[in-house]
Amino acid sequence: MNKKLSKDSRFKGLKIAITGASGSLGKALIEELKRNGAYVIGLTHSKKNNSNSNEIAPDDWIFWSCGEEKLLSSRLANIDILILNHGFNPKEIIDTNEINKAIEINSLSYWRLIQVFEGLTLNNILNKCSPKEIWVNTSEAEIQIAFSPVYEITKRLIGEIVSLKKSKLLIENNNNLIIKKLILGPFKSQLNPYGILSPELVAKKIIIKAETEDYLIIVTPNPITYFIMPIIEFIRILYSRLLIKIYSK
């Protein structure tokens, strides 16, 4: 598939890794980022290549498993942007195994990857390199119903953890790690076969907004989210900053 490359994109020449690279949005992001001149690495749990001849494959693959995030440290050392996009939507809302799996994949593995990637910023400081970026796909389920209570809970959990991390970075005036939160509406995928947005459209909007948005990247047909999410985020960060200052005295 030949597509015209963007000449002026800020992503040109950057090394970008994406988890959930075998999923619908992962594939769309790979194509869009490569169109913008990035070197893209796909992180996946699947040993099978689900791409077809019409899809653009990443420049490299990394196979990994939840719970083994520390093993990725050396592979992520030279990555400029890490996009956390993997997920699990349990079909059973009260099954203990499904709940545990959702918490592990949607929340805990995200948090461990954030910590691993943040630890790598020390090398950037020593070598006077550009800041590393991490984009976290918490989705619109962070603040609204997604007809999957466990999925909503796990997304809300990682969403609030990211808000807390953002607060700490602001207090420390730490510019070595840039966090962007992806608040995405329902797009069609294996997790949500009834999504009303196409993953290709969502990926394009994400890349366009990432050029200018400092933190929140919102892509949804729901106008309420554009109004509510910034307010909720402001309150969370303000609350967290106040508590961090109090407890640090």
How far is the C-alpha of 38 from the C-alpha of 41, rounded, in Å? 10
Q: Which tokens hold the place of 240?
A: 């967290």
Active-site residue set: 151
